[in-house]
Amino acid sequence: MTRVPMYRIALLAIALCSSAEAQISLWQIGGAGLAWDGSDTTRIIVDINAERIRPVYFAEGDNMFLAVAGWSELIVPRELGYIDGHQPRLWYTDGTNVNQTSYYDSPLYVDGLRSTYNTARDGWWTLDIGVPVPAVRFGFATPTEGTRSDGVPLNQDPVPAFEVSIAAETSDILAQKGYRRLNTLIADVPVNFYPEVEIEFPQQYVRFVRYLRKASVLDEQRTTDSNTVRGTIAEFVLTGLGVPKRAIYRSKILDLGAEVNFGRLAWAARTMRMVGGEAVVVPDAEAWVEVEVRAGRDGDPNIYREYTDSGKEFAVTRARYENDLRQPETEGILQIDRQPGIRASIGYDSENWSFWSSPITESGTRLDLRNGSHLQLQITLQSRAFGDWVELDSLWIETSPPLAAQIVGEVARAADMQPAPGFVQVELGARETFVYDVRASFASAAEGGFDRVRIHTGIAPEFARLEMGDPLAAVEPLAVVEGDASLEVLLPRKVTAASNDPLRVVFAAEVFARATTFTGEVLTKDESLLPQPIEPGDASPAVSTNSLRVLGAADTAAEIIQRVRLSNGVVTPNGDGVNDRLAIEYALFLLPAPVPVVLDVYDLAGNRRAHVKVGAQGTGPQRAFWDGRDEQGALLPPGLYLLELALVTEAQRGRVLLPVGLAY
């Protein structure tokens, strides 16, 4: 067996780039690919033309409510697949039901026409435009035509008293029964005589506006028609200047035509800024692209269910669910009624669909998606400044034919491959030996198979052995690459449809987090095709976990920083090459994500004399250094100092203090 250094594998990939490109193709949306327009299912404050997508730029006087369509009259719309922030809402409440619909065609308030209106009434309205927009003014106006039942022209029927509050993001207040102001109050008017109301406020992001019709002394001056509520509104208006905090483009489920593996995701974009009324390209604009992706093996990621006679659920087609079944809490049906003909739950088809990826912000990022024949994108155009935005021209994804129909894997401790609880649990920080079983299934001989296995361990692993065949037997791998956070094994023979050997990789590693997933992929040694992810599943009857996840057990009071060790008790920065700088080795535990680490040095009087930004570090063995110098780079006087290693986090346990000597 030959252990191949990591750089040689990288050089091999570069050398074979030309042959790989022959089998790796690019799927594209935008530019010469699939058209942006018509390929979306959700478009919130997005401006689209044939060449690009970008956020809508609002000029002064533009009514932002007119930039969205499909207003719902419910706080929880009943449309299938509703997602918070993907559909504008305008609902009325009188205090009896938080999810009360207006039944008065409330979208008339945001249709851009002052000739359309609803009958005046008490209560409050909440408007959700979907995303935060850069607003400076909210207003409303009476209709331009029509009369009240008492003969008063509607254009002379102003709201006598009102209150308006706004918020940039969603909160629990929205779902509370009874009236609650939103975060920022912008108007509280006890007496109003104006048919057109404009409320100005400092520019800020606004997603929600709540308007309350308040009681007023003017209500006592009603006409002989005692049932008429004064104050008719024809239109709500929200205006400002700039782009939204985020704009959302969500694609349809896109059929790729065949099963493929996925590689890197990349895009062509530019950041813009409005300068003196002109849009210019600005590289340092505070705007960026975020992309989420999911892949599937059919055209719908959901499972739709109907109730049986016994109240249990069974799967039905979307057409039946959407068109034939009735919705609970409507048409006189109670939520507790569980019988045929009534909609049950909607589940996620995780067997055929991957979950959404984490937001990708760097073009050229490799996707961690299992193979699929369908794809869906969610693109968020983010901005931190009212006048900055990003324009996205096109987006593309590397694809290639799958290596197999499916690759499944499961992991277990070598000492207990069938744990009683059904999952793997190890002591945090303890060296454990794991078995990692992999099994492939092939749909046809056209799926070329694989001869390399890569396992992402998170920390430096130690290879033990490779087993292949049925029954499994130890074999010598052609090469092994032990990386800082992964293990790669080159198989002695290729796994194909004709020679489909089960395999097991045995390795030692440590776990430093409460939950660690040993993700992996299979690939070919010539890299002519894209890697294919290993999915958790039943890979072997000898292992019972059906999972790639390992849980770490620890005392709830366990320290985050452990195993601290100094390279020497004294640092001597005299340039002789011996102890010129101090190395601090340690292990970080229980961190869900990398956090900033700093190193502070104090004299015995408690004065900070040096500050070193170590950078963001995650769980596992880590290292920091100090060269005996202060923050300006000057050597500190000889003596005894206290060295503090700390995490920049709210946790109180991420801190350790050590004495260290400084001498020349």
Which pTM does this prediction carry?
0.81
Per-residue pLDDT averaged across 392-413, rounded? 96
- Using CA atoms, how far residue 117 sits from 101, 103, 111, 156, 235, in Å, is 16, 13, 10, 14, 7
Instruction: Identify the band that residue 620 occupies on the pLDDT scale cut at 50, 70 and 90.
Output: confident
Least confident of 118-122, 405-409, 414-418: 118-122
End-to-end CA gap in the chain: 48
Question: Taking Cα atoms as reference points, which of 346, 356, 403, 350 lies closest to residue 533?
Answer: 403
Average model confidence (pLDDT) for the chain? Answer: 89
Question: Which pLDDT belongs to residue 18?
Answer: 39
| Residue 221 pLDDT class (50, 70, 90 cuts) | low
Mind listing the pLDDT tens digit for each residue in 132-160?
999 999 999 999 999 988 888 999 999 99
Choose the weakest-confidence range: 230-244, 354-368, 594-608.
594-608
Enter the tokens of residue 524. 């070919």
| Whole-angstrom distance, CA of residue 384 vs CA of residue 366 | 26
pLDDT in tens, 324-349: 988 775 544 455 567 888 888 899 99
pLDDT of 490-501, one tens digit each?
999 999 999 999
Burial class from Cβ neighbours inside 10 Å (0-12, 13-18, 19+) for residue 281 reads exposed
Region for 341 from its dihedrals, namely left if φ exceeds 0, alpha if ψ lies in -120 to 50, beta otherwise: left
Q: Are strands 450-456 and 486-495 parallel, antiparallel or unpaired?
A: antiparallel
- Write down the pLDDT at residue 208: 98
Where are the alpha helices (H) located in 350-425, listed in sequence order?
A: none
Say which residues have a Cβ less than 8 Å from residue 331's Cβ, sequence separation at least 6.
none
Task: Check residue 579 and give its pLDDT.
Answer: 85
DSSP annotation of 512: -
pLDDT recorded at residue 49: 86
**From residue 59, how far is each of 62, 177, 218, 242, 243 by CA, in Å?**
6, 37, 37, 7, 9
Give the separation between CA 540 and CA 544, rounded to whole angstroms.
Answer: 8
103-112, 299-308, 386-395, 620-629, range with the lowest pLDDT: 103-112
Alpha helices in 66-106 (DSSP H): none
Residue 97's pLDDT band (boundaries 50, 70, 90)? Answer: low
Confidence label for 104 from pLDDT (cuts 50, 70 and 90): low
The rounded distance, in Å, linking the Cα atoms of 344 and 330 is 14
User: Residue 193 burial by CB count (10 A; 0-12/13-18/19+): exposed, middle or buried?
Assistant: exposed
| pLDDT value, residue 2 | 38
Instruction: Report the length, in residues, of the chain.
Output: 664
**Is 80 exceeded by the pLDDT of residue 117?**
yes
Q: Strand, helix or coil at 379?
A: strand
What pLDDT is attached to residue 329?
59
Q: Which three-class secondary structure state does DSSP give residue 64?
A: helix
Is the pLDDT at 100 greater than 60? The verdict is no
Instruction: Read off the pLDDT band of 554 (50, 70, 90).
Output: low
Q: Are 602 and 650 in contact (CB under 8 A)?
A: no
Q: Do 636 and 629 meet the contact criterion of CB atoms below 8 Å apart?
A: yes
Range 362-379 average pLDDT: 95
The confidence band for 85, taking pLDDT boundaries of 50, 70 and 90, is very high
- Residue 98's pLDDT band, with cuts at 50, 70 and 90, is low
The confidence score (pLDDT) of residue 600 equals: 92
Selected residue with higher pLDDT from 208 and 345: 208
319 contacts: CB under 8 Å, gap ≥ 6:
none
Q: Which of 19-28, 406-415, 574-583 has the highest mean pLDDT?
A: 406-415
Checking if the pLDDT of 369 tops 70, the result is yes
- Exposure b/e, 73-98, CB count within 10 A at least 16 = b: bebebeeeeeeebbbbbbbbbeeeee
Whether 16 has a pLDDT exceeding 60, the answer reads no
> Is the pLDDT confidence value at 126 over 90?
yes
Residue-wise burial string across 117-137, b where 16 or more C-beta atoms lie within 10 A, e elsewhere: bbebeebbbbbbbbbbbbbbb
* pLDDT value of residue 21: 46
Least confident piece of the model among 85-99, 118-132, 197-211, 406-420: 85-99
CB 128 within 8 A of CB 90: yes
Q: How confident is the model at residue 220 (pLDDT cuts 50, 70, 90)?
A: low
pLDDT at 89: 95
Q: And the tokens for 412?
A: 């277990």
Cβ atoms of 103 and 121 within 8 Å: the answer is no
Domains located in the chain, CATH noted: 30-52+247-400 (no CATH), 58-241 (2.60.120.260), 406-553 (2.60.40.740), 561-662 (2.60.40.4070)
Rounded average pLDDT over 535-540: 95
Q: What is the pLDDT of residues 72-83, one digit of tens each?
A: 998 888 788 889
> Lowest mean pLDDT: which of 250-259, 334-343, 522-531, 632-641?
334-343
Q: What's the pLDDT score for residue 13?
A: 33
pLDDT (0 to 100) of residue 178: 86
- Confidence at residue 96, expressed as pLDDT on a 0 to 100 scale: 66
| Mean pLDDT confidence for 526-552 | 93
Rounded to the nearest 5°, which phi and psi values hold at 320? -70, -45
Cα dihedral sign, 276-282-288-291: positive
The whole-number pLDDT of residue 528 equals: 86
